[in-house]
Amino acid sequence: MSEVKLEDIVSLCKRRGFIYQGSEVYGGLAGTWDYGPLGVELKRNIIHLWWKTFVQDRDDMYGVDAAILMNQKVWQASGHATGFNDPMVECKNCKARLRQDHVEKDKCPVCGTVGKFSEPRQFNMMFKTNVGPVEDDSSLSYLRPETAQGIFTNYKNVLDSFYPDLPFGMAQIGKAFRNEISPRDFVFRSREFGQMEIEYFINPDDWKPEFEKWVKEIHEFLDKLGLPKNMVHELEVPEADRAHYSERTIDFEFDYPHKRDELLGLAYRTDFDLGNIAKATGKNMEYRPKDGSKPFVPHVIEPSFGIERAVMAVLVSAYKEDEVEGEKRSYLALPEHLAPVKVAVSPLLKNKPELVKKAHEVYKTLKKEFGNVMYDDNGNIGKRYRRQDEIGTPHCVTIDFDTLEDGTVTLRNRDTTKQNRIKIADLISAITN
């Protein structure tokens, strides 16, 4: 388990504008979260890194962005309409409804009563809705519980438009929705969350080596997120616990503050989904090898990342506490490519127009170069450094009276707190390196 406390992460996220409770001003809506100005930048940086790594930097990937609402037949064919269930029990004392496997020692976590639960019943986690003005069975639809089906339903379109060679992958980033019985542990178990998914289409003969390649690529990506290797663990999921479509699953677990828990999944989905589409629609899902050999329905390896779980793992990995000049400091040692703000620029004193003017000049130059640069003149310089440390800003630039004399500024490093005098003309390269 992580040594970082969940309450420290939650409190930092709220205080500094990373993540807020959804609909908070109206009393909240359980299992929903809103990203504030810094959280949205952090999340976008993670998403961008994923898309660049797995789509843009490769020749075998095709991105899609499918509709969230899909024909109800998708969910009948995929097995979700009948099988996407969690076992639910009700406390006979306080009527709380709980996921059976979340109940410990037969004790109700809400009222504390022991041993007074109803028999478990299966609860389907899909959010239902109706499409169009008539509310009947024919207009029934669902908010998608996984982005994957929007990939499978477009497999044939991509095959027909791009004639890819096998193996090739299709990738999608988007929202997924699950009516979790008990959302909990901050954003870890939410009812609305983001997924970054790949369906990688392969020749079934190659599934074992292809699976192993993905294990390696996932570890490389988690390195880029700055997760310490010793906090990431592979769990070979036993057959009884695997999703209905999977013949092999590895859960990549992370040492979260609440416990070691699933960060992402890697599944061998076989031809389960394409086979179901072929059966349900009568359409041919076969791939025709260009060498004229026998057509076949490809099998699928699926790496499935949860965005919120990645955000939380990044925050937990980056959260540090130390002592600076006799005072306790907490800071986020985020990898530079994920930090919401790369550089903060401050005048030493905000009531000296000549310092303010120069600080604005430097700010504009850096903003043009890096984009995510913040002008910060709130409070005294010590407070600004602490605030920037807490939000994970790797570099702080301070303009003082010497700047006006000799054109140098103070460049401060977040992790070491060391300060260097440096010429304005050298700032961009010092920050880039």
Interface ranges with ligand GAP (CB under 6 A): 146, 148, 178, 180, 189-190, 193, 195, 197, 262, 264-265, 302, 304, 306, 308-309
Cα(171)–Cα(219) distance, integer angstroms:
18
Q: How far is the CB of 267 from ligand GAP (least distance, A)?
A: 6
Strands 373-375 and 343-347: parallel
Q: What are phi and psi of 377, to 5 degrees?
A: -125, 25
What letter would DSSP give residue 18? Answer: S
Spell out where 47-157 has E strands.
61-63, 85-90, 97-99, 121-124, 127-130, 140-143
> CB of 266 within 8 A of CB of 250?
yes
Query: Residue 56, Cβ neighbours under 10 Å: how many?
Result: 11
Q: How far is the CB of 279 from ligand GAP (least distance, A)?
A: 20
Are 196 and 47 in contact by the 8 Å Cβ rule? The answer is yes
CB of 384 to ligand GAP, least distance (A): 34
Compute the least distance from the CB of residue 148 to ligand GAP, in Å. 4
Helical axes 37-51 vs 307-318, angle rounded to 10°: 110
Q: Give CA–CA dist 40/340, Å, rounded.
A: 8
**Nearest distance from residue 309's CB to ligand GAP, in Å?**
4
Query: Is 224 or 352 the residue whose CB approaches ligand GAP more closely?
Result: 224
CB of 74 to ligand GAP, least distance (A): 13
Distance, in Å, from the CA atom of 373 to the CA atom of 366, rounded to the nearest integer, reads 7
**How many residues are there in the chain?**
433
Tell me how far, at minimum, the Cβ of 159 lies from ligand GAP, in Å: 20
CA-angle at 254, arms to 197 and 61, nearest 5°: 20
Q: What is the dihedral of CA 409, 410, 415, 416, to 10 degrees?
A: 130
Nearer to ligand GAP, 61 or 427 (CB): 61
Q: Which one, 19 or 397, has the nearer CB to ligand GAP?
A: 19
Tokens coding 200? 């990688």
For the bound state, the minimum distance from the C-beta of residue 204 to ligand GAP, rounded and expressed in Å, comes to 19
For ligand GAP, the closer CB: 41 or 302: 302
Q: Provide the 10 A C-beta neighbour count for residue 343.
A: 24
Nearer to ligand GAP, 47 or 356 (CB): 47
Minimum CB distance to ligand GAP, residue 134 (Å): 30
Q: Which is nearer to ligand GAP, 158 or 348 (CB)?
A: 158
Give dist(CA 380, CA 300) in Å, integer: 56
Which residue lies nearer to ligand GAP by CB, 309 or 395?
309
Residue whose CB is less far from ligand GAP, 193 or 201: 193
Residue nearest to ligand GAP (CB): 306
Report whether the peptide linkage leading into residue 298 is cis, meaning its omega lies within 30 degrees of zero.
no
Nearer to ligand GAP, 87 or 329 (CB): 87
Residue 384 tokens, joined: 């600004």
